[in-house]
Structure 1
Amino acid sequence: MSTGKSVDTVLSEMRRAMATLESAVDARIDRERQHHEADGEVRRVHADRARLAQELDQAEFRANRLEEVNREVSRRLVTAMETIRAVLDR
């Protein structure tokens, strides 16, 4: 009977070892999945950053252009006011 008990013991140990191995494999697969998800998130963040940098550049260009137009309008208003004053002073 001790041989039968030894076989049962060995089978039980083998089952525990297989369960431990399966758990380790599952944990490794989960870590790999999380790693891939993190890589995807990093790629999305980089893409968003590039898009936002481009939008910022465009907004700065528009702001600079508006500032130039504002200066030109201001210059023209000053010229118009000076012309009106000159006409009224005559």
Structure 2
Amino acid sequence: MNDRPANLEPPLAELDSATRRLMSALDALESAVERRREADRDEDELATRIQALGADRSRLADELDGSLVRSRKLERANREIAERLDAAIGTIRAVLGEANGAGADHEEDEDE
């Protein structure tokens, strides 16, 4: 006189199997969520690095522009100095030439 039906055990086995599948699926879902969080952290870290690289690039571009301006100023100053030196050398040669010419004229005067 058992009040329970005889076919009660198979549904319990199916329920147990379904519970195990559900637990396995939940574990897989939890693992997937953790991987996604990790990927998001990696993405955030990568975005931060890219932003830092962009800032470095901007800073380096500014420094390069400043260096180019400074280089052009130095080249211009170098040309001006070279022109002045050439003019000074020319003047010195002219003075020396006149002195040599005057010295030669003076020697001719003495010979006479």
TM-based fold match above 0.5: yes
Give the corresponding residue for 1:4. Answer: 12
Unaligned runs of 5+ in 2: 1-8, 99-112
> Quick one: which of 30, 50, 61 aligns to 1:42?
50
Give the corresponding residue for 1:82. Answer: 90
Offset of 1:3 from its aligned partner?
3.4
TM, length-normalised to structure 1: 0.90
TM, length-normalised to structure 2: 0.74
Deviations 1:36-74 (A, max 9, x none): 112112101111110110110011011101101101110
Offset of 1:7 from its aligned partner?
2.8
Moved over 3 A (4+): none
Could you tell me the percent identity over the aligned residues? 38
Instruction: Give, in whole Å, the separation in 2 of the partners of 1:33 and 1:54.
Output: 32
Instruction: Give, in whole Å, the separation in 2 of the partners of 1:66 and 1:31.
Output: 51
**Equivalent residue pairs, number:** 90
Matched, 1:64 2:72: yes
| Residue type of the alignment partner of 1:44 | A
The alignment's C-alpha RMSD in Å is: 1.2
Instruction: Give, in whole Å, the separation in 2 of the partners of 1:87 and 1:69.
Output: 27
Instruction: Give, in whole Å, the separation in 2 of the partners of 1:14 and 1:81.
Output: 98
Instruction: Give, in whole Å, the separation in 1 of the partners of 2:62 and 2:31.
Output: 46
Structure of greater Rg? 2
Instruction: Give, in whole Å, the separation in 1 of the partners of 2:50 and 2:38.
Output: 18
Give the corresponding residue for 2:105. Answer: none
Give the corresponding residue for 2:30. Answer: 22
